[in-house]
Structure formats: structure tokens, C-alpha cells
Structure 1
Amino acid sequence: MTQAGAVIDRVVTERGELVLRRCGGHFEIVSNGVFLMDTRAGTSERLLVRRALDLVRPGARVLIGGLGVGFSLAEAAASTVPAEIVVLEIEETLIGWHRDRLAAYSGNALRDARVRVVNQDLLAWLGTTDEVFDAICLDIDNGPDWTVFQHNAALYDADGTALLRDRLADDGVLAVWSASAAPAYAARLATVIGPVTAYPVEVPRGEPDVVYLARRGPVGAGLRQLRASPGAGP
């Protein structure tokens, strides 16, 4: 947790208070008094997208779950691989911040013709759409083992994981960001989706972030969890 900075915007949404504040030249997003994310690093968020795009062909359709401070979207938009990038973000206010104050952090990608932003809850949208993606990059809440909003936990359970699998193309890739190692979730990915690779990313304090990649294959294909190699970083 960083020291409190100057409040730039404060909005009350259906999910409570959402605050954008500036601290030491960076922006921070706080939900109901709980620190969510800031613009200081972004290494693991960029890795989330980069590793997924490494495994898909040019012309891919990419789904990003969670806009955050924009690092994942910026990484996707900087690549020539995606032909279409769909971003699901539940907070309309956050989308608005990316049209001005946070635009630089998302690479001004909301102006990219390949980008479509959908202002809906990801889980609800997944249950109603018939769209299929070559890569799904998931960065919702703090990952499978610590969700600020209890509703989001359903995205990581067996039913939520099966729903994500159904939205993947054959040989599609699911990339999931986690604030810490989540071995039980990794095992679920392996059982429901396919072979899994884990990329730990060191952070200044606390446990490493972890990016999990699961390649769609036969159900129960098994877990293949690897240590991060020197090439696993940015």
C-alpha cells in the first residue's frame, strides 16, 4: 500500500466508491477504500498479453477481461498480431478515465480501430455471447485467490473456467493474472482447459505475481507448470 495521494476523481457506482488519485507522479485506483492498482510498473500485466500473443497466429481475435490502468490493452494494441481486441470493463467511469487522464497508459488504444470496449460484467457477458477468441487475457480483481468483489470469484471456479473454455477457439489460449501463486487454480485450468505454464514475476514487495497460460486441448490434458526462465520476463 502506498501513501495516500491527491484525489483526482471520486465516483459512487453500483459497486461502491471508485477513486482515482495521484501519488508521486503516478495514478492509483482505489475501490471502497481498497487499493487495486497503480501505474508504477505493469510488467506482469504486459507479460500476460505478450505470452498469449506468442501462441496465436496473425489476425487473432483477442479478449481482454479488465481494463485496469491499461497496461494489458497497450501491449495488445502495440502488437500487429491481433485483428480485433475486445475489452470487457464493468466500470464506465474507468473507461472514461482512459479517454483522458489514463490514455497514455493504455497507449491511446481506445482510438485504435481494432479495439472495441464493452461496458459490461465479464461473467454475465460470457454467458450471453457466442463470440469465440484465439486468446483471452484475464485480469479481473486480484486473481483467483483474492477477490475484492465476491461476485468475481465465480469467474475462477469450475463453471467459470468451463465458460471461458467455451469462448476459446480450438487451440486457443487463456492467460490469467494472479497476485500470487494459485496451485489449486492451476490444476483446475489443466483439468478444464489444457496444459498450463506458470510465469512468476518478481515484485518489489511481497509474493511474485503469476501469469498462468492454458492452451485449449482435450479435457484433462494435465498440468505442466514450469519455473520462469530468463526469457519469461519482459
Structure 2
Amino acid sequence: MDGDVAVVEVARAETERGEVVLRRRTSEGPDVLELRVNGVFVMDTLETGTEIALAAAALDLVPDPRDVVVGGLGLGFTAGRVLADTRVERVLVVEIEESLVGWMRNGTVPHGPALLADRRLKIINADILMAIAEARSTYDLILLDVDNGPGYLVHDDNARVYEQSFLSRCGDLLNPGGVLAIWSASAEPELLAAMRAVFADAEEQAHDVLLQDRPETFYLYVARAATSPF
């Protein structure tokens, strides 16, 4: 028990990166699923505002986001908001934890099967670093939410996601006028500097949201590929 809240472990997986745990919190309100990695809270099904706002804000930046990459499946709320946009024709979600994909697919996460049934959605079980390095297609929007930002890494190797070499590779995969957007829980001036070293057009956007009537701010780091001169 956490105070008046009962906590039950729903699923657990041990990986080479550590443990991935899905827990259910039960109180007077609806049950809440909570995802933790190596004991660190990642997200839950109660406060989904920033995951949804992330996708909405990024989609607003691209006039015709037909092909979208989402780095990080989480509990599916970012991908779900992307799929809610009727302009989107294909969504590729890259998730490193195979167990998490399985829990979404088999209904351990109850809303998972309906999300994964969308024919526009493809999920690959891979490290985002590898997936981007090996990609052979181009995209209108690359949306990355693999950590709580570069200052709060889920895995140490993710530090490379915020380095110039990876950002440059993302730029190579963007269609003219396409956008790379990275979510962060805090302001990260070093990330902005790295993006500006690669892209002529890069900016920090602060987004205010209400989570359970509590004001919060998340940051979106946005870089835009040059438009075609033709």
C-alpha cells in the first residue's frame, strides 16, 4: 500500500538494460497503470496530457505529415494522438523494450490491442539509435520521446540521441520542410545548441499544460529541414 493506494505488480521483464515493470494503482477512482524502468517512474494512464500535447504540437508544425516516426512507444498515448490526425498515412514506432510491445499487443495494457490494430501503424523492436542509423526511408516528422529529456536518461546510452551526429542523421531522413521534435521535461540549452549546429532552423518551445489541475511545463525542441528550392 502507498498510503491509501493499493499497488499491484501486473507484469515484469528483466532485460540487459535492467527491469521494466507495469504496476496497477487502485484507489477510490479508476485503476491506473504505471510504467517504471529500473525503479524510475516513466509514465502512467492517469496523467497523459504531455504525451498527447507533444504529438499535437509537433503535428501542427508540419503541413502534410504523411509519414511519421515516433521514438518510444511508452503506453501508446503519443502514437495514438498521431494516428488521430487524418493526414497521417504511416506511423513507425520504434521501441527498444520487446516486453512493452508484447504487453500492449496482448491486452495487459487494456487499450493496447485497439491501438495496434490501426493498419497505418508499424512497430519495430529496436534501439532508436540503430533504427535511425539503418533507416532507408524519409519522413515528414520524427518525434522523439525516449527519455524525460537529456537530463533524465532512462538508459545511459540514450545520451547519444542528443548529440550532433545523431541529430544530423535525423536531418538526412527528413523530407523538405520536415520536422524533428524532441520532448523534454526541462529546459535544455545544450540540446538547443546541438540542434542549431546541425539545422539552420531550430528553436525551443515551452508548453504549459494542466495535469490534474496542476500547471506543468514541458519543452519541445524543434528543428526544421530546409524546403526544396524547386
TM-score, length-scaled by structure 2: 0.86
CA distance in 2 between partners of 1:9 and 1:197 (Å): 37
Q: SS of the counterpart of 1:82?
A: coil
Q: Check the 8 A contact 2:206/2:217 in 1, yes or no.
A: no
CA distance in 2 between partners of 1:206 and 1:50 (Å): 18
2:12 alignment counterpart: 10
Q: SS of the counterpart of 2:100?
A: helix
CA distance in 1 between partners of 2:51 and 2:61 (Å): 17
Which amino acid in 2 is paired with 1:102?
V
Q: SS of the counterpart of 1:208?
A: strand
Q: Check the 8 A contact 1:21/1:28 in 2, yes or no.
A: yes
Q: Check the 8 A contact 1:175/1:214 in 2, yes or no.
A: yes
CA distance in 2 between partners of 1:107 and 1:42 (Å): 18
Moved more, 3-12 or 66-75: 3-12
Q: SS of the counterpart of 2:175?
A: strand
Superposed CA offset, 1:113-141 (max 9, x none)? 10010111110111112211100110012
1:161-172 counterparts in 2 under 5 A? Answer: 161-172=167-178
Shift of 1:184: 1.8
Correspondence 1:213 to 2:222: yes
Which amino acid in 2 is paired with 1:212?
Y
Which amino acid in 2 is paired with 1:46?
I
Q: SS of the counterpart of 2:134?
A: coil
Q: SS of the counterpart of 2:116?
A: helix
Number of equivalences: 216
Residue in structure 2 matching 1:189, options 185, 189, 195? 195
1:73-88 counterparts in 2 under 5 A? Answer: 73-88=79-94
Q: Check the 8 A contact 1:135/1:174 in 2, yes or no.
A: yes
Q: Check the 8 A contact 2:94/2:126 in 1, yes or no.
A: yes
Distance 1:76 1:103, change over 3 A: farther
Q: SS of the counterpart of 1:80?
A: coil
Superposed CA offset, 1:10-67 (max 9, x none)? 1112211111001131111111222221112222211221122223244610000000
Correspondence 1:134 to 2:134: no
Q: SS of the counterpart of 2:89?
A: strand
1:59-138 counterparts in 2 under 5 A? Answer: 60-99=66-105, 100-104=107-111, 108-138=114-144
Which amino acid in 1 is paired with 2:109?
L
- In terms of fraction of residues, the more strand-rich structure is 2
Q: Check the 8 A contact 1:195/1:217 in 2, yes or no.
A: no
Q: SS of the counterpart of 1:173?
A: strand
Superposed CA offset, 1:98-120 (max 9, x none)? 1213242x682210110010111
Distance 1:134 1:167, change over 3 A: same
TM-score, length-scaled by structure 1: 0.84
2:60 alignment counterpart: 54
Which amino acid in 2 is paired with 1:117?
I
Please list every run of 5 or more consecutive structure 1 residues that lacks an aligned counterpart in the other structure: 219-234
Q: SS of the counterpart of 1:217?
A: coil
Superposed CA offset, 1:169-203 (max 9, x none)? 11101111101111221222233122324133346
Q: SS of the counterpart of 1:98?
A: helix
Q: Check the 8 A contact 2:137/2:173 in 1, yes or no.
A: yes
Larger Rg: 2
Shift of 1:155: 0.7
Residue in structure 1 matching 2:206, options 182, 199, 213? 199
